[in-house]
C-alpha cells in the first residue's frame, strides 16, 4: 500500500501549476491538482488572453482610421456585447483544453479551495488527501486601495465582465495592467484619466521608452496625472467621485485600480506549518522551488519573483523535471523579454540604459524615433522608438527596447540574438528586411 495518496498535490491550476502537474504526470508521478475557480488561472481567465483579445478588438478603431488613407471608405460600428461574448467563448474553449491536457497526463482535478493541514496533507471540500510533495501555485491577486470608500473601487477583472462600456474611466496605476486596459478603453471611445502616484509611468522600464509612451498615450487622448493619488471614493448618483490629493474631484463611471498584485498565500495554512514568507507574503523558495518546509514547494507569482506567465511555466517545468525526471531542465532568468500591450505596444529585453550604466564600465546607446511607413498615408499621428544598449567593453548588446506597432513580435527575435551573445557589430552586419520597423535595429549608427 502506498505511503501517500499522491506523489504530488498541486494547489492552483494556473499556468505554473498546470504545467508542473501535467509534466509530472507524464513522467509517471501520481498527481492531483485542486482549483477553486476555472482552469488556467489569471492568464487564461482574467489576464493575458482576454486582455490581448480586447487589445486586438479595440485596435480596429485605429486600423479603420488608417484605412481611409489607403482608399477604403466604410462606416464603422462597434458592439461591446459581441466582443465580450466571443471572448467568453474562447476562454471556455481554453478551459476545456487545460482539462483535457491534465486528464491525458493522468492528473486528478479536484474542484474547491485547498488548505494545507500538515506538510503532507491537503484538505479540499472537507476531505483530506496526502502527498509526498505539495506544490503551491496559487498565483496572485489585485491589491485594492485602503482609502475611505475603497469598497467601491473596481479591479481589472471588472472590465472583462462589463455589460456596457462606461463613458468615463479612471484608471489608478501606471504599470502593465493599467496602461493596457486604459489603452483598450481609450481606443473604444471611453474618456480615460490615468492617476499615478509616481513621477512617470511604467516604473522599471527604460526612461526613453517611458517618456515616449507617455507622449503617445496623450496624443490618443489619455489624460495622465502624475504624482497624484486618490484619497477617497464616493458614490454620486449612478457615477463615482474620486477626491485627489491635488484638490481635484474627478467624476467617473468606472473607477478601476491597478496598483499592483500580491501573492495568494492567505488562508492556505502556510504560517502554521512554518513556511517562510517574504516581506510581501510571497513564499520563499530555493533554486529548486523548495520552501523552508522540505515537502512544500512553490512556483509562479506566489513566490513574488517575476510575475510573468512564461516564467511560471518555466518554473513548473523545472520543478517537474527536477523531482520526477532527470533534472535536465534549467531556467535562465537573465534577459527575459516582456511586452506591455498598450497602444502603441512596448516590448523590451535586457538592461535599460540606467541599469547598463550601473553594471558596465562604459555604455554606448543607439536610438531612433520615426513614423512607421504604414502611417505615412494615414491621418493618424503615432511614432515608433527603437533603442539598443551596448556594453562598450566587449560590444555585446545588453538591451533592446521598442515602442510601436508589432514591438512584441520584433523583440522576441532579438531576445534570441541576445541569449546567443550577439554584438553590435553582428547587428550591423545583418541585412535588414526593407521596409520594416524591425530593420531599424540593424541600421542604427
Which residues are identified as catalytic? Answer: 434
Phi first, then psi: give them for residue 366, nearest 5 degrees.
-125, 135
CA angle (212, 213, 214) in 5-degree steps: 90
User: Distance (Å, rounded) from C-alpha 37 to C-alpha 19?
Assistant: 17
Please state, in angstroms and as integers, the Cα–Cα distance from residue 73 to each residue in 65, 69, 85, 201, following that order: 9, 9, 28, 36
Three cell numbers written together for 163 = 455589460
CA angle (323, 17, 142) in 5-degree steps: 140
Three cell numbers written together for 72 = 477604403
Please state, in angstroms and as integers, the Cα–Cα distance from residue 28 to each residue in 3, 6, 107, 322, 324, following that order: 16, 11, 10, 13, 8
Phi first, then psi: give them for residue 259, nearest 5 degrees.
-105, 20
169, 190 contact by CB (below 8 A): yes
DSSP label of 277:
B
Contacts of residue 231, Cβ cutoff 8 Å, sequence gap at least 6? 147, 148, 243, 244, 245
DSSP label of 234:
E
Q: Which residue has the cell 523545472?
A: 318
Phi first, then psi: give them for residue 348, nearest 5 degrees.
-155, 155
* Long-range contacts, stretch 318-322, CB < 8 angstroms, 24+ apart: 318/288, 318/289, 319/20, 319/24, 319/135, 319/288, 319/289, 320/19, 320/20, 320/23, 320/24, 320/27, 320/29, 321/23, 321/27, 322/288, 322/289
User: Distance (Å, rounded) from C-alpha 155 to C-alpha 252?
Assistant: 15
User: Distance (Å, rounded) from C-alpha 369 to C-alpha 94?
Assistant: 39
DSSP label of 433:
P
Phi first, then psi: give them for residue 361, nearest 5 degrees.
-70, -35
Amino acid at each position: 500500500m502506498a505511503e501517500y495518496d499522491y506523489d504530488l498535490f498541486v494547489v492552483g491550476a494556473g499556468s505554473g501549476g498546470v504545467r508542473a502537474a501535467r509534466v509530472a504526470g507524464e513522467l509517471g508521478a501520481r498527481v492531483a491538482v485542486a482549483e477553486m475557480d476555472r482552469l488556467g488561472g489569471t492568464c487564461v481567465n482574467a489576464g493575458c488572453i482576454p486582455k490581448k483579445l480586447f487589445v486586438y478588438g479595440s485596435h480596429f478603431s485605429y486600423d479603420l482610421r488608417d484605412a481611409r488613407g489607403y482608399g477604403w471608405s466604410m462606416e464603422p460600428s462597434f458592439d461591446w456585447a459581441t466582443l465580450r461574448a466571443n471572448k467568453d467563448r474562447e476562454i471556455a474553449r481554453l478551459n476545456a483544453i487545460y482539462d483535457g491536457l491534465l486528464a491525458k497526463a493522468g492528473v486528478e482535478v479536484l474542484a474547491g479551495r485547498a488548505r494545507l493541514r500538515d506538510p503532507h496533507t491537503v484538505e479540499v471540500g472537507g476531505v483530506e488527501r496526502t502527498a509526498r510533495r505539495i506544490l503551491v501555485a496559487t498565483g496572485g491577486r489585485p491589491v485594492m486601495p485602503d482609502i475611505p470608500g475603497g469598497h467601491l473601487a473596481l479591479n481589472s477583472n471588472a472590465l472583462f465582465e462589463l455589460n456596457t462600456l462606461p463613458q468615463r474611466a479612471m484608471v489608478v496605476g501606471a504599470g502593465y495592467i493599467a496602461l493596457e486596459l486604459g489603452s483598450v478603453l481609450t481606443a473604444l471611445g471611453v474618456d480615460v484619466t490615468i492617476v499615478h502616484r509616481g513621477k512617470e509611468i511604467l516604473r522599471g522600464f527604460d526612461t526613453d521608452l517611458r517618456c515616449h509612451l507617455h507622449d503617445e498615450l496623450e496624443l490618443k487622448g489619455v489624460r495622465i496625472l502624475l504624482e497624484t493619488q486618490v484619497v477617497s471614493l464616493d458614490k454620486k448618483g449612478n457615477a463615482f467621485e474620486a477626491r485627489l490629493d491635488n484638490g481635484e474631484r474627478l467624476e467617473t463611471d468606472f473607477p478601476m485600480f491597478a496598483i499592483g498584485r500580491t501573492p495568494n498565500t492567505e488562508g492556505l495554512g502556510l504560517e502554521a506549518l512554518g513556511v517562510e514568507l517574504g516581506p510581501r507574503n510571497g513564499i520563499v523558495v530555493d533554486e529548486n522551488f523548495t520552501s523552508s518546509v522540505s515537502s512544500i514547494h512553490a512556483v509562479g507569482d506566489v513566490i513574488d519573483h517575476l510575475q510573468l506567465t512564461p516564467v511560471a511555466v518555466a518554473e513548473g517545468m523545472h520543478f517537474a523535471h527536477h523531482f520526477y525526471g532527470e533534472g535536465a531542465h534549467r531556467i535562465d532568468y537573465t534577459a527575459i523579454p516582456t511586452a506591455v500591450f498598450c497602444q502603441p505596444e512596448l516590448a523590451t529585453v535586457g538592461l535599460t540604459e540606467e541599469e547598463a550604466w550601473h553594471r558596465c564600465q562604459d555604455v554606448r546607446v543607439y536610438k531612433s524615433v520615426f513614423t512607421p511607413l504604414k502611417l505615412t498615408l494615414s491621418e493618424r499621428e503615432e511614432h515608433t522608438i527603437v533603442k539598443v544598449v551596448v556594453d562598450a567593453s566587449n560590444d555585446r548588446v545588453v538591451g533592446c527596447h521598442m515602442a510601436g506597432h508589432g514591438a512584441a513580435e520584433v523583440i522576441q527575435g532579438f531576445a534570441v540574438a541576445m541569449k546567443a551573445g550577439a554584438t553590435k557589430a553582428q547587428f550591423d552586419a545583418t541585412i535588414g528586411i526593407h521596409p520594416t520597423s524591425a530593420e531599424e535595429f540593424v541600421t542604427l549608427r
